[in-house]
């Protein structure tokens, strides 16, 4: 594995035999590697796992967050060749081979993570040792990472997930299946729409609420979604998660910025300002909302990250709309924030009563 700053890590290949280039990031999750790899928010990225052993419980049918993962590669300290779990259907190695994703094991993931923390995320490449390294470095430096990640992972065609309760339109920016699971548990009747759906098409469905999902990349690369949010807020309740949170902030005049190395893991403490309650949360994002750009006449800050003070939640002062930077759907846990889905249900019910 090579990094754009000239660093070289030698390891053992597993998974697909392919050379790839992507943004190298790290996650501090101690479990949930299947959910992580299949999370479309990792589109185009090479995922470094800080937990030393990955693959020991295999791959199962229940923990997919998408069917066709689009991360570029997987980096681990130790790859477990033997998977032992009653739900196991295949090994991690076999899964990555089927999905065309290369992995590299046996490298010093602690050293790599410390480099990313000090220098920030950077381009990297997993290459075959037989390749000429000088040529590989030249290719790596010349590669321009794509900015259309949302278009790559969003559904192209609208589709329903039928229920018997509240009618919710889900805007797919790269959704995790766990979002659909939580809404389905609350018997919502779901219609999943592409990322570039216009406001009128959404409103024509007469939704009780709109969910803005997670997704990859820079929120400023999705201007059509920002315009759509401007046009629907105040007309229908809105709940945004992760990228949806950033887009909601942009639609209300705030700004976003690229973080040095982002938040990726399952152990991020978030404080609710109103109550002081701390939730441990699942997070996966490389951009954040800039606090100083938030207009206090429009938006109220509801949650902050305990470790670095970044904005983790906002609520509109005039309209039934709120968003959080973390993943209340978890998958894997912790599940401390799952109550936000219930808050969304209550918001939709209250709005309907006033109509």
Residue 336 falls in the annotated catalytic set: no
Q: In terms of residue numbers, what domain contains 182?
A: 150-353
Strands 209-212 and 102-105: unpaired
The DSSP line for 142-187 is HPPPPS-HHHHHS-SS-EEE--SS-EEEEE-SS--HHHHHHHHHTT
Q: What are phi and psi of 175, to 5 degrees?
A: -60, 150
Average pLDDT of the segment spanning 208-216: 98
Query: Across 16-158, where does the E strand assignment appear?
Result: 20-27, 45-49, 53-54, 73-76, 78-79, 102-105, 122-126
Residue 220 is given by DSSP the state: G
Using CA atoms, how far apart are residues 100 and 98, in angstroms rounded to an integer?
Answer: 6
- R_g (Cα) of the chain, nearest Å: 20
Place of tokens 């990250």: 305
Q: Does 201 share its domain with 89?
A: no
Distances (CA, A) of 197 to 125, 223, 308: 35, 12, 35
Using CA atoms, how far apart are residues 146 and 129, in angstroms rounded to an integer?
Answer: 26
Q: Single out the residue in 120, 145, 170 at which a domain terminates.
A: 145
Average pLDDT taken over every residue of the chain: 96
Question: Which of these, 11, 140, 19, lies nearest to 76 by C-alpha position?
Answer: 11
Q: How many domains does the chain have?
A: 2
Q: Does 104 share its domain with 166?
A: no
Q: Does 21 share its domain with 92?
A: yes
CATH number at residue 178: 3.40.50.880
The reported pLDDT for the residue numbered 129 is 78
Catalytic residue among 93, 188, 327, 336: 327
CATH number at residue 66: 3.50.30.20
Whether 225 shows a pLDDT value over 90: the answer reads: yes
Average pLDDT of the segment spanning 110-121: 96
Tell me the torsion sign for CA atoms 143, 145, 147, 150. positive
The reported pLDDT for the residue numbered 339 is 96
Using CA atoms, how far apart are residues 36 and 14, in angstroms rounded to an integer?
Answer: 18
Catalytic residue among 63, 93, 329, 336: 329
Using CA atoms, how far apart are residues 311 and 326, in angstroms rounded to an integer?
Answer: 10
Banded pLDDT at 282 (limits 50, 70, 90): very high
The reported pLDDT for the residue numbered 291 is 97
Q: Does 84 share its domain with 15?
A: yes
Residue 327 falls in the annotated catalytic set: yes
Q: Does 8 share its domain with 154?
A: no
Q: Single out the residue in 123, 145, 167 at which a domain terminates.
A: 145
Using CA atoms, how far apart are residues 242 and 219, in angstroms rounded to an integer?
Answer: 10
Binding site for L-glutamine, by residue number, is: 41, 215, 217, 243, 246, 284, 286-287
Q: Does 308 share its domain with 161?
A: yes
- Note whether 303 and 313 are within 8 A (CB): yes
What percentage of the chain reaches a pLDDT higher than 90? 95
Q: Does 82 share its domain with 156?
A: no
Banded pLDDT at 330 (limits 50, 70, 90): confident
Using CA atoms, how far apart are residues 14 and 249, in angstroms rounded to an integer?
Answer: 41
The reported pLDDT for the residue numbered 131 is 76
Number of Cβ within 10 Å of residue 275's Cβ equals 8
Q: Does 187 share its domain with 335?
A: yes
Q: Does 140 share its domain with 246?
A: no
Residue 188 falls in the annotated catalytic set: no
Binding site, by residue number, is: 41, 215, 217, 243, 246, 284, 286-287
Q: Does 63 share its domain with 25?
A: yes
Q: Single out the residue in 145, 174, 203 at which a domain terminates.
A: 145
* SS3 category, 245: helix
Banded pLDDT at 8 (limits 50, 70, 90): very high
Catalytic residue among 242, 268, 279, 303: 242
Whether 294 shows a pLDDT value over 80: the answer reads: yes
Alpha carbon 322 to chain centroid distance? 18
Using CA atoms, how far apart are residues 23 and 46, in angstroms rounded to an integer?
Answer: 6
Q: Does 62 share its domain with 194?
A: no
Tokens of 57: 């419980």
Q: Does 166 share its domain with 195?
A: yes
pLDDT tens digits, residue range 33-69?
Answer: 999 999 999 999 999 999 999 999 999 999 999 999 9
Question: Which of these, 213, 222, 205, 200, lies nearest to 160 by C-alpha position?
Answer: 205
């Amino acid at each position: 594995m090579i990094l754009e700053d000239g660093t070289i890590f030698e390891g053992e290949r597993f998974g697909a035999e392919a050379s790839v280039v992507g943004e190298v990031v790290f996650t501090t999750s101690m479990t949930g590697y299947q959910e992580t790899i299949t999370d479309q928010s990792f589109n185009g990225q090479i995922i470094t796992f800080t937990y030393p052993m990955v693959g020991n419980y295999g791959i199962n049918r229940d923990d997919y967050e998408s069917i066709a993962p689009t991360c570029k590669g997987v980096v681990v300290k130790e790859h477990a060749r033997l998977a032992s779990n009653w739900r196991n259907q295949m090994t991690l190695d076999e899964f990555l081979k089927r999905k065309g994703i290369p992995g590299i094991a046996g490298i010093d993931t602690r050293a790599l993570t410390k480099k990313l923390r000090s220098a920030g995320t950077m381009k990297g490449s997993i290459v075959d040792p037989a390749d000429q390294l000088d040529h590989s470095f030249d290719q790596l430096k010349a590669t321009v990472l794509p900015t259309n990640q949302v278009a790559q992972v969003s559904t192209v065609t609208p589709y329903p997930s039928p229920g018997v309760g509240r009618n919710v339109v889900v805007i797919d920016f790269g959704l995790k299946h766990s979002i659909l699971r939580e809404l389905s548990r609350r018997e919502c009747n779901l219609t999943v729409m592409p990322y570039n759906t216009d406001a009128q098409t959404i409103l024509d469905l007469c939704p009780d609420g709109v969910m803005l999902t997670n997704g990859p990349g820079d929120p400023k690369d999705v201007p059509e979604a920002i315009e759509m949010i401007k046009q629907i807020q105040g007309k229908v309740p809105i709940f945004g998660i992760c990228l949806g949170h950033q887009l909601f902030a942009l639609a209300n005049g705030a700004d976003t910025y690229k973080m040095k190395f982002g938040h990726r893991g399952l152990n991020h403490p978030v404080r609710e300002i109103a109550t002081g309650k701390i939730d441990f949360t699942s997070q996966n994002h490389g951009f954040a909302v800039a606090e100083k750009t938030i207009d206090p006449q429009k938006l109220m800050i509801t949650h902050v990250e305990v470790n670095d003070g970044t904005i983790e939640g906002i609520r509109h002062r005039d309209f039934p709309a709120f968003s959080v930077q973390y993943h209340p759907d978890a998958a894997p846990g912790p599940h401390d924030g799952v109550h936000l889905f219930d808050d969304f249900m209550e918001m939709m019910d209250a709005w309907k009563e006033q109509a």
